[in-house]
Amino acid sequence: MTTVHQACHDILREQGLTTIFGNPGSNELPFLKNFPADFRYILGLHEGAVVGMADGFAQATGRPVLVNLHSAAGTGNAMGALANAWNSHTPLVVTAGQQVRAMVGVEALLTNTEAASLPRPLVKWSSEPASAQDVPLALSRAIHTAATPAAGPVYLSVPYDDWQREAGPGVEHLARRRVELAGQPSAQMLAALANALEQAKDPVLVVGPDVDAVNANRFAVEFAEKLAMPVWMAPSAPRCAFPTTHPCFRGLLPASIAGISRLLDGHDLILVVGAPVFRYHQYEPGDYLPKGARLISITCDINEAARAPMGDAVIADIAATLRVLSEIVSPSPRPIPNTLSRPDHAPELPGPLAPERVFDILDTVAPRDAIYVNESTSTTNLLWQRLRMTEPGSYYFAAAGGLGFALPAAVGIQLAKPERRVIGVIGDGSANYGIQALWTAAQYGIPAIFIIMKNGTYGALRWFAGVLQVDDVPGLDVPGLDFCALARGYGVDALPANSAASLKAALEQALAGDKPFLIEVETRA
């Protein structure tokens, strides 16, 4: 007899989901029984950290990852992290245990009432199978749904007595199934896009996270060079899709309506590839488009295409479309834009380090292929100006703005990319939302480096308080934190840094080792 448990583990194995991130409860133990020797279970001490680690791992590998949570309580703890995964198109297969079927109706303790409704609208698909025999098919469907564009998290609730039931007939067909999307535009549509770009007097390219997610950065570079276009990163970008040292690169667009239109003024054609149009944040009303400009977006997400307030949209395979466009457009006679001058190195002044100085040191000392995971939200613009990010997969940020992403994600990304060094740049306020991931890094020997920018305040909120003219609100300061002590308590080596020399020395020590390392940097508010 093939059990549901056996059938589902066969599906996971054949589909490559053998690394599982989880924080189990009693409902999940039957799924973990006889855990296969060729699988690995990465334990996190809080569900938010678990989903954050899985999010980083899945983004870095580009493949779906299984997350194992506990019923409603565990799912609830993970919802903030799930929001980030939803907005970053991360293919997570989130499973949660359910009370036995015989006690769901009486809502016994640990029953997840209306389980499929709980995680919506932060998942692509959510289900609790109607019978035990439906569980393998539901798991197969969840994996393929999570992976196909636009990728995203899915949710599956399984009563824990289902695992030992007999699987239904035909279950052997599920494990080796493949589901692929062929999404290149027609030759006529590609020719029309190329013609529009060739006829434009001053086109501009805006690239977003989905370009980096499908490793299409090189096509974006070839495309921009051929048409001599300036290139901007889309606002609030959770990934870096274009080398920041390239002559065409212009920087990160602001997350405001008027701010974007102001910077794109003068361009008659705006081509947005792999990003929402646009992900705004602060309210700065104005015209959505500069006068006389036309906007076209190429996206893998029908929801992003449909909700855009302006422009035309093409839903297509990002990598294939960029590759073909870069081949068929005629070279422009326009000169390549001049390289933007890099800011001078910040001087070292007495007292806490300026964030600019921290980034200058990071850029000098860190390997050129370092991966940066950012959650020092008040210094994001400075980071983009001062760090040279040239390789695909070099930058990650919380796509929904939910705090608690960077520290766990750095652990997951480092686990996925052992050949590169991962450096988390994390604010002292942000770090507390995912601090439990330090334990996982220590226990599994994952050598991520965590730079804690300690200024004793929620810097981004301080800035917003000024914008909103509400300077007298409480709860913006976080004094009295000792991150070195916290790190050591979780088993991670740590050093404080209060000068350029001590930061450089600590960073060199961290890079020379093969263990996780935390550096607490006193910075100016």
Judge whether residue 462 has pLDDT over 70. no
Amino acid 346: pLDDT: 87
Domain of residue 78: give its range.
4-173
Q: What is the CATH number of the domain that holds 21?
A: 3.40.50.970
- Residue-wise pLDDT tens digits, 357-375: 999 999 999 999 999 999 9
pLDDT score at 376:
93
Whole-angstrom distance, CA of residue 184 vs CA of residue 317: 5
Tokens linked to 38: 């060729």
pLDDT tens sequence across 259-310: 999 999 999 999 999 999 999 998 899 999 999 999 999 999 999 999 999 9
How far is it, in rounded angstroms, from Cα 275 to Cα 128? 32
pLDDT score recorded for residue 182: 80
Domain final residue, candidates 173, 208, 227: 173
Mean pLDDT calculated for residue range 72-82: 95
Residues above pLDDT 90, as percent of the chain: 87
- Separation CA 522–CA 516 (nearest Å): 20
One domain, residues 459 and 311: no
In a domain, 395, yes or no: yes
Enter the pTM of the model: 0.95
What pLDDT sits at residue 242? 98
Percent of the chain whose predicted confidence (pLDDT) is above 70: 96
- Residue 1's pLDDT is 84
Say how many C-beta atoms besides its own lie within 10 A of residue 197's C-beta: 21
CA 58 to each of CA 88, 320, 395: distance values in angstroms, whole numbers, following the listed order: 11, 21, 14
Residue 231 predicted with pLDDT over 80: yes
Q: Would you say residue 482 lies in a domain?
A: yes
Same domain, residue pair 476 and 408: yes
Token pair listed for 287:
């015209």
In a domain, 108, yes or no: yes
pLDDT of residue 342: 86
- Do 298 and 169 sit in the same domain of this protein? no
Mean pLDDT throughout 410-423?
98
3-state secondary structure of 500: helix
* pLDDT > 80? residue 115: yes
**Distance (Å, whole) CA 307 – CA 300:** 13
For the purposes of burial, counting CB atoms within 10 Å of the CB of 476, is it exposed (0-12), middle (13-18) or buried (19 or more)? middle
Residue 295, SS3?
strand
The answer on pLDDT for 220 being more than 80 is: yes
Q: Which one of 147, 173, 199 terminates a domain?
A: 173
Q: Is residue 347 part of a domain?
A: no
**Total count of domains within the chain:** 3
Q: Are residues 117 and 65 in the same domain?
A: yes
| pLDDT value of position 525 | 75
Q: What is the rounded average pLDDT for all residues in the chain?
A: 94
Residues 501 and 386 in one domain: yes
pLDDT bin (cut points 50, 70, 90) of residue 480 is confident
Query: Closest by alpha carbon to 395, among 366, 417, 371?
Result: 371
- Identify whether 292 is part of a domain: yes
Q: What angle (nearest 5°) sits at the alpha carbon of residue 362, between those of residues 357 and 363? A: 95
Instruction: Tell me what pLDDT residue 524 has.
Output: 85
What pLDDT shows up at residue 504?
97
**Can you state the angle between helices 318-328 and 187-199, rounded to 10 degrees?**
60
Domain boundary (140, 173, 206) is at 173
Q: What is the mean pLDDT of residues 453-482?
A: 69
Q: Which are the catalytic amino acids?
A: 25-26, 28, 47, 70, 281, 401
Q: What is the pLDDT of residues 318-352, one digit of tens each?
A: 999 999 999 999 999 999 998 888 898 888 888 89
Q: Which of 156, 132, 164 is nearest to 2 (CA)?
A: 164
Is the same domain home to 370 and 506? Answer: yes
Does residue 465 carry a pLDDT above 80?
Answer: no
Which runs of E-coded beta strand occur in 221-293? 231-233, 249-252, 269-273
Check residues 458 and 75 and name the one with the higher pLDDT. Answer: 75
Beta bridge partners of 457: 477
pLDDT value for 425: 98
Q: Tell me the mean pLDDT in the region 237-244.
A: 97
Nearest in space to 90 (alpha carbons), one of 110, 120, 114, 64: 64
